[in-house]
Structure 1
Amino acid sequence: MKVTIDNHEAQYLAHDIEAINEWWKKSTSQIYNQKRLIYCLEIDGVKMYTGYESVIVNNYNNIDKIEIMTKGYEESICETLQEMGLYLKVFIPRSLIIADYFFGEVSEEAWGEFSKFIDGLNWIISSLEFIQTISDPCNDAVELVLRKLEPVVANLEQSIRNGDHVDVADLIKYELIPIIEPLQQICGIQQGD
């Protein structure tokens, strides 16, 4: 089996799980020590962004080539901020529409949209936590947004449990969005872009 990291120094391993495991531990340790992250693996020409470890374990006898592709911390942060900026351009206006649904009778369709809103909010929070984890030193602006979001998200969850739809709308429109809007500047997106 041919194995490489970022197209450098190919090694050849026997189709032996222990040899592969040793190579994997050594390689990933080197990657992380260099302040890099695994971006994806290409296993026999198929790119995988998640679940690649189980694919290797379950198919090591049949794999001919593994290529690990990495990204540095700064590159990962920049890419995440760029993706978030693009996402916020859609998320913010859509969130205001979703908030308006909760000022009246909430339809099944509105609940479906709200579910997508929650998924999007979770992605934003996860992305901010990822940036915070790999930032050195910590990003103060990101940390502040995360700190402000925590109680608002908790209040939103409580309002949903209590069935207080007006409070859900108010929290989204008047607390959550004002916290999230400044992220556009952090992401390099100007108002009106």
Structure 2
Amino acid sequence: MIIKINNKTWELDQPSVNDVIEKINVETNDQYFFSHFIADGKEIYENHELFLEDHLTGISELEIVLKTVKQFINDILLSASEYIQRAKPELPPLVDDFYNHADKSTWNRFVAFLEGLEWLNQMIAVIDGTKQHPINWDQYLIIAGAMKEHLETLQEALENQDEVLIADTIQYELLPLLEELEKEIDSTIDQEGYRYDIS
């Protein structure tokens, strides 16, 4: 199997999953993040280890795609911005449903919203762990701290099935925080990053 990383190429006779991971770890230092890999032309973005365990013996060429820390932060912020843009219009109807007594669909949408907030918190934690931060990083940390507090409130409301508290927390606390986070992300991308031209 041929492994390509950052314009370097290795030919391994019978590589193990650990061999591949070790190569990735050696090449990803403080300057790079592992993004995804391309196995015989097929891009794989998630469950990397599982994919390798299932398909390693059949792969003839594995290209490991790394991004600089700056590219990685830019791309993850673009994803967060897209998520917030999709989530914001969904929240007022969700809030209304909680004020008017939630049904199964309402609870399912609420769980999806919680997963999105958790993802945003993880994104901020990942960027915080890098050596490079956007200029306005302190604002992100303030927003993340406030989001965590409100998530705890939501957790209590969920345990008590307090639909009014859930609706109030989303409407008056989390929606404004998401709008604030979106402004910070847009500011970072416009000042320090870039948007991909889709035209």
Root mean square deviation, CA, Å: 2.1
The secondary structure found in structure 1 opposite 2:66 is strand
Q: 2:164 aligns with which of 162, 166, 169?
A: 166
- Following the alignment from structure 1 to structure 2, what is the Cα–Cα distance between the partners of residues 128 and 155? 20
Partner Cα distance (1:180, 1:115) in 2 = 17
> Against the structure 1 CA distance between its residues 51 and 61, is the aligned structure 2 distance closer, same or farther, given a 3 Å change threshold?
same
Quote the residue 1:119 is aligned against: 115
Aligned partners of 1:135, 1:97: CA distance in 2, in Å? 40
Q: Give the number of the structure whose alpha-carbon radius of gyration is greater.
A: 1
| 62 and 89 in structure 1: CA distance in 2 versus 1, 3 angstrom threshold | closer
* One-letter amino acid of the counterpart of residue 43, structure 2: K
Unmatched 5+ residue regions in structure 2?
A: 188-199
**Which residue pairs with 2:13 in the alignment?**
14
User: What is the CA distance between 1:117 and its match in structure 2?
Assistant: 1.7
Normalising by structure 1, we get a TM-score of: 0.85
- After TM superposition, the score normalised by the length of structure 2 is 0.82
2:2 alignment partner in structure 1 = 2
One-letter amino acid of the structure 2 residue matched with residue 84 of structure 1: A
How far apart are 1:80 and its partner, in Å? 1.4
The alpha-carbon deviation at position 32 of structure 1 amounts to 2.5
1:109: Cα distance to partner?
Answer: 2.1
Deviations, residues 157-177 of structure 1 (Å, cap 9, x unaligned): 101110111111111111111
**Which residue number corresponds to residue 29 of structure 1?**
25
Distance in 2, matches of 1:115 and 1:21, equals 35
Shift of 1:137: 4.8
SS at match of 1:33: coil
How do residues 14-163 of structure 1 correspond to structure 2 at under 5 angstroms?
14-17=13-16, 21-22=18-19, 24-25=21-22, 27-137=23-133, 139-163=137-161
TM-fit CA distance, 1:45? 2.1
Deviation at 1:184, TM superposition (A): 1.4
The amino acid of 1:49's aligned partner reads Y
Give the deviation of 1:143 after TM superposition.
1.0
2-side partners of 1:30 and 1:16: how far apart?
A: 16
Q: Which runs of 4+ in 1 moved over 6 A?
A: none
Return closer, same or farther for 1:160/1:56 CA change in 2, 3 Å cut-off. closer
Contact residue 36 and residue 73 of structure 1 kept, 8 A: yes
Following the alignment from structure 1 to structure 2, what is the Cα–Cα distance between the partners of residues 105 and 44? 51
Secondary structure in structure 2 of the residue aligned to 1:4 = strand
Q: How much identity, in percent, do the aligned residues show?
A: 22
SS at match of 1:134: coil
8 A Cα contact 1:132 1:142, kept in partner: no
Structure 1 unaligned regions, length at least 5: none
